[in-house]
Structure 1
Amino acid sequence: MAHALSHRPRRQLPKIKTVIVAAVAYVIALIFIFPYVIMLLTSLRSQESLREATILPPVWEWGNLTDFFTSGLVDNLVVTLQVAGGSTVLVLLVALPAAYYTARHNFRFRTGFLILVLITQMFQPTAMLVGIYREFFQFGLVDSVWSLILVNGGFNLAFAVWILNAYFSSIPRELEEAAFIDGNGRFGALFRVTLPLAMPGVITALIFTFIAAWNEFVVALVLATSKENQPLTVALNSFIGQYQVDWQHLFAGSVIATIPVIILFALIERKVVGGLTAGSIK
Structure 2
Amino acid sequence: MMRKVLLTACAWLVALVVLAPYVQMLLTALKPHEELFASPPGYLPESWQFGNFLEVWRVAPIWEYLRNTVLIAGLSTVLAVAVALPAAYYTARRRFRGRRMFLLLVLVTQMFAPTALVIGIHREMLALGLIDTYAALILVNAAFNLAFSTWILHAYFSSIPVELEEAAWLDGCGTLQALLRVTLPLAVPGVVTAVIFTFITAWNEFVVALTLTSTPETQPLTVGITAFIGQYEVQWQYLFAASLIAIVPVVALFAYIERFLVSGLTAGSVK
Question: What's the TM-score once normalised by structure 2's chain length?
Answer: 0.97
Aligned to 1:4: none
How high is the sequence identity, in percent, across the aligned residues? 58
Aligned to 2:195: 206
Partner Cα distance (2:257, 2:37) in 1: 39
- TM-superposed CA distance for 1:55, in Å, is 2.6
1:156 to 142, 145, 162: 145
Q: C-alpha offsets along residues 200-220 of structure 1, whole Å, 9 cap, x if unaligned?
A: 010000000000000000000
Aligned to 1:134: 123
Q: Secondary structure at the match of 1:220?
A: helix
Partner Cα distance (1:20, 1:223) in 2: 49
* Contact 2:122–2:211 (8 Å) recurs in 1: yes
* Contact 1:68–1:74 (8 Å) recurs in 2: no
Question: What's the TM-score once normalised by structure 1's chain length?
Answer: 0.93
- TM-superposed CA distance for 1:227, in Å, is 2.2
- TM-superposed CA distance for 1:280, in Å, is 3.8
Partner Cα distance (2:90, 2:269) in 1: 22
Alignment of structure 1 residues 38-49 onto 2, 5 Å:
38-49=24-35
Q: Does 1:269 align with 2:258?
A: yes
Q: Which amino acid aligns with 1:67?
A: E
* Contact 2:61–2:216 (8 Å) recurs in 1: no
Partner Cα distance (2:190, 2:43) in 1: 41
Aligned to 1:3: none
Q: Does 1:66 align with 2:43?
A: no
2:232 to 243, 246, 260: 243
* Contact 1:192–1:279 (8 Å) recurs in 2: no
* Contact 1:197–1:280 (8 Å) recurs in 2: no
Partner Cα distance (2:139, 2:71) in 1: 12
Alignment of structure 1 residues 1-282 onto 2, 5 Å:
15-52=1-38, 53-70=41-58, 71-282=60-271
Partner Cα distance (2:205, 2:218) in 1: 14
* Contact 2:88–2:150 (8 Å) recurs in 1: yes
Partner Cα distance (1:68, 1:276) in 2: 41
- For structure 2, list consecutive stretches of 5 or more residues without a partner in the other structure: none
- TM-superposed CA distance for 1:91, in Å, is 0.6
* Contact 2:64–2:216 (8 Å) recurs in 1: no
Partner Cα distance (2:18, 2:112) in 1: 28
**Paired positions, count:** 268
Q: Which runs of 4+ in 1 moved over 6 A?
A: none
